[in-house]
Amino acid sequence: MDPVTKKREYRDDYDDKTLYIPGPTEVPDDVIEAMTESTFGHRMDRMTDLYTTIVEDTKEFLGTDNEVVILTGSGTAFWEATTLNLVDEHVLVPTCGAFSERYANVAERLGKDVDRLEYEWGEAVKPEDVREAIETADVQYDMVAGVMNESSTGVRNPIEEIGDVLTEYPDTYFAVDAVSSLGGDYVDIDAHGIDAIFASTQKAFAMPPGLAVCVVSDDAYDREVEKGDSSWYGGFRRTIDYYDRKGQTHSTPAIPIMLAYRKQMKRMLEEGHRARDERHREMTEYVHDWAAEHFAMFPEEGYESQTVACIENTRGIDVAATIEAVNERYDMAFSNGYGDLGEETFRIGHMGEHTVESVTELTDAIEDVAGL
Ligand SMILES: Cc1ncc(COP(=O)(O)O)c(C=O)c1O
């Protein structure tokens, strides 16, 4: 096979762009600076101080009594791990966009028997449909794999209500991809039968990419133990037992990113989960009002994401050209629609440390460039 990719030398002179894409998002300067400590060993006491600090602070921030696993890798690692740890055979994946579809693809690739509960892009998953799918299936699902925030369509699925339905089916575990919303959209993890919920650090946590966080219930841990086989790298038992015994990770982690995590999680704790949720809600309201004035929101009404606005291009602007001009003139980056939605929609990531003020700077820039 001829290689398509040619080397393009990385330079030292890129302009900084303010990120309004659906992740990575802006990372505060002190968090970037926290990564410059000299390297230390992953079996030193210092590592135990660092890892136990970030794990326990995360539990406190999220208000959960469940276990927290923080691994080097991205959220994708937990698509695999949840499937391997919880599923023997059958899994139900409600699909309503690119990322839920990919969760299904991962489970298929791992040899699981996947049933999809399919929705049009832009629609949200309905709890009663999940119940019906479980009731009418001729197999028993080991897991329902949900996506809380479909970053491709800007849909926020009602995972709390879906979790409430699933509490009636104790042998069906509930895994939730909250990659692009956790930390920016409040969820009471312990109250809705969620067995595993995971996120990537580069999204609403406003940290650099490179770590994935998963909150694991006791039931999910027990299920993996009873099941026998599991993921090695992301096994709940292996990661949690290692934490209990040593306060460390089973293999060498990305220590600089964990240093950044420590710094940013302190900021998140200071703000609080509820206050962070409120700030994201204010941004959402602002963007919705702006979209209503100039365009329209793409998602089904009432299910709009609190971290990624997917806006329907009702005016037929040249999305790609607008993105490029905003990038060049204002050093700001936002995104086109995902896949086939390329020119039909555009997406604004308003997550992490963004505020109504910072988002307004972007919408002003779009107005200027697109002549709104
Ligand atoms: C909803 C959702 N799930 C999963 C992923 C994959 O996350 P990562 O690239 O951190 O593995 C993304 C990335 O954008 C996402 O938005």
For the cut 80, the answer to whether the pLDDT of residue 335 exceeds it is yes
Give me Rg for the CA atoms of the chain: 21
Determine the pLDDT at residue 287.
98
For the cut 90, the answer to whether the pLDDT of residue 3 exceeds it is no
Question: Distance (Å, rounded) from C-alpha 124 to C-alpha 158?
Answer: 8
147 lines ligand 1 (CB under 6 A): yes
What is the distance in A from the centroid of ligand 1 to the CA of 325? 27
Question: Distance (Å, rounded) from C-alpha 264 to C-alpha 53?
Answer: 12
H-type alpha helices, 120-272:
127-136, 159-166, 218-227, 236-246, 255-271
Determine the pLDDT at residue 244.
98
145 lines ligand 1 (CB under 6 A): no
What is the distance in A from the centroid of ligand 1 to the CA of 164? 25
What is the distance in A from the centroid of ligand 1 to the CA of 136? 31
Q: Under a CB-based contact definition with an 8 Å cutoff, are residues 33 and 319 in contact?
A: no
Tell me the helices (H) and strands (E) count for the chain, helix number first.
12, 15
Question: Distance (Å, rounded) from C-alpha 350 to C-alpha 151?
Answer: 12
User: Which ligand 1 atom minimizes the distance to the CA of 77?
Assistant: 11
The percent of residues in the chain predicted with pLDDT above 70, rounded, is 99
Determine the pLDDT at residue 88.
98
pLDDT averaged over every residue in the chain = 98
User: Which ligand 1 atom minimizes the distance to the CA of 23?
Assistant: 14
For the cut 90, the answer to whether the pLDDT of residue 4 exceeds it is no
Q: How many CA atoms lie within 13 A of 360 on its CB side?
A: 6
Q: Which of 207, 140, 203 is nearest to 177 (CA)?
A: 203
Give me 33's structure tokens.
């600076």
Residues of the chain within CATH 3.40.640.10 domain(s) are 29-269
Q: Which residues pair with 69 in a beta bridge?
A: 214
Q: Which CATH number among 1.10.10.10, 3.40.50.150, 3.40.640.10, 3.90.550.10 corresponds to the domain 29-269?
A: 3.40.640.10
Q: Under a CB-based contact definition with an 8 Å cutoff, are residues 25 and 203 in contact?
A: yes
Amino acid letter, 242: Y
User: Which ligand 1 atom minimizes the distance to the CA of 181?
Assistant: 1
Q: What is this structure's pTM? A: 0.98
How many CB atoms within 10 Å of residue 148? 27
Determine the pLDDT at residue 157.
98
Determine the pLDDT at residue 1.
67
What is the distance in A from the centroid of ligand 1 to the CA of 257? 18
Q: Under a CB-based contact definition with an 8 Å cutoff, are residues 68 and 214 in contact?
A: yes
Exposure pattern of 224-235 as b/e (b: 16+ CB <10 Å)?
Answer: beeeeebbeebb
213 Cβ partners below 8 Å, 6+ apart?
58, 68, 69, 70, 182, 198, 199, 200, 201, 205
Per-residue pLDDT band for 303 (boundaries 50, 70, 90) equals very high
For range 166-190, the mean pLDDT: 98
State how far Cα 41 lies from the chain centre. 29
Which of the listed residues 148, 150, 180, 335 should we mutate to test ligand 1's pocket, taking the one with most ligand atoms within 8 A of CB? 180
For the cut 80, the answer to whether the pLDDT of residue 285 exceeds it is yes
180 lines ligand 1 (CB under 6 A): yes
What is the distance in A from the centroid of ligand 1 to the CA of 314? 27
Torsion over CA: 162, 99, 77, 140 (sign): positive
For the cut 80, the answer to whether the pLDDT of residue 92 exceeds it is yes
281 Cβ partners below 8 Å, 6+ apart?
306
Amino acid letter, 282: E
Instruction: Give, to the nearest 10 degrees, the angle between helix 76-86 and helix 98-109.
Output: 50
The end-to-end CA distance of the chain, in Å, is 47
User: Which ligand 1 atom minimizes the distance to the CA of 180?
Assistant: 16
For the cut 90, the answer to whether the pLDDT of residue 146 exceeds it is yes
Question: Distance (Å, rounded) from C-alpha 173 to C-alpha 176?
Answer: 10
Torsion over CA: 295, 299, 303, 309 (sign): negative
For the cut 90, the answer to whether the pLDDT of residue 2 exceeds it is no
101 lines ligand 1 (CB under 6 A): no
Q: What is the pLDDT of residues 47-76, one digit of tens each?
A: 999 999 999 999 999 999 999 999 999 999
Consecutive H or E run containing 329? helix 319-330
Per-residue pLDDT band for 271 (boundaries 50, 70, 90) equals very high
For range 292-298, the mean pLDDT: 98
Domain 18-26+272-370 has CATH 3.90.1150.10: yes
What is the distance in A from the centroid of ligand 1 to the CA of 209? 11
What is the distance in A from the centroid of ligand 1 to the CA of 45? 33
Q: What is the pLDDT of residues 9-47, one digit of tens each?
A: 999 999 999 999 999 999 999 999 999 999 999 999 999
Per-residue pLDDT band for 258 (boundaries 50, 70, 90) equals very high
What is the distance in A from the centroid of ligand 1 to the CA of 197? 13
For the cut 80, the answer to whether the pLDDT of residue 196 exceeds it is yes
User: Which ligand 1 atom minimizes the distance to the CA of 76?
Assistant: 11
76 lines ligand 1 (CB under 6 A): yes
Residues of the chain within CATH 3.90.1150.10 domain(s) are 18-26+272-370
